[in-house]
Amino acid sequence: MSDWKHYQAPADALAGRVILVTGAGQGIGAAAALAYARHGATVILLGRNEKKLARTYDAIEAAGGAQPAAIPMDLAKIGETEIAQLGITLRKEFGRLDGILHAANGFSFLSPLTNQKLDEWVDMFKVNVAAPFAINRGLLPLLSQAPDAAIVHLGESHALAPAAFWGGYSVSRAGQKNLVEIAASEWDNLPQLRINLLVPGPIQSPFRLATHPAEPRDSLPPTEAILPALLYWMSAASAGQSGRTLCFAEAG
């Protein structure tokens, strides 16, 4: 495995590919969508906030990328019908799918377990694990037809190092590792398709800044620091590597 943390992607690394990015309205999702577009991909932006999606859409167009598509969708509320329709839309409008970046983040707030509610846990599990599973399953027919396809789940360091007050969020994020490893094992007859879990660790994402407000901002790598890794694991450079849990920065 090459130095994926500092991968220098060719300008055409994703040329001709269609990539779906969830959580594309802000943070790592938005930065990744722009980077994928700059490297030749047509990007499908999925998120619950239309205004934020529009900003990412405009940034891609301003950068000269291929015209993206924006699909407003709340992963906490979707069901089988919406996922089936997503597959129909992608097949009709694009005819292919070469990758998915699951960057959507389901989080309520930090609190002791005694204060957390069942519906909060259910929402976090749905956004962080259940909806991504269902999207992968629903779009598998398209992904399996691609000559080289990749699914990347963005994880969270508190899943690997559980701590007080992270409760349902940590537990739901812990499920990602099992999901990725099970899928990689079941898809071993699809060598052109890989699935991996990438844990950013402490970087300057809106989420990190919100949950660690006292942390000095300049002590963290900028969001853009993770883009080489996101390009590596989405592009053909990572072919043949599946079922891995990858930590970008040391947890703190």
Query: What domains does the chain contain, in order, with CATH numbers?
Result: 4-247 (3.40.50.720)
Residue with tokens 């924006």: 70
CA distances from 50 to 76, 117, 203, 229 (A): 16, 28, 25, 27
The catalytic position among 7, 36, 169, 232 is 169
The yes-or-no verdict on residue 1 having pLDDT over 70 is no
pLDDT digits (tens, 9 = 90+) for 81-100: 999 999 999 999 999 999 99
Assess whether pLDDT exceeds 50 at residue 78: yes
Confidence of residue 249 (pLDDT cuts 50, 70, 90): confident
Torsion of CA 164, 221, 175, 234, to 10 degrees: 180
Mean pLDDT of 24-28: 94
Answer yes or no: is pLDDT of 119 > 50.
yes
Query: Model-level pTM?
Result: 0.93
Q: How many CB atoms lie within 10 A of CB 124?
A: 24
Active site residue 7: no
- Mean pLDDT calculated for residue range 119-148: 96
Once rounded to an integer, what is the mean pLDDT over residues 140-148? Answer: 97
Q: Which residue has the higher pLDDT, 241 or 224?
A: 241
The pLDDT tens digits of the residues spanning 40-50 come to 999 999 999 99
Return the pLDDT at 250. 66
Q: Write the single-letter amino acid at 184.
A: A
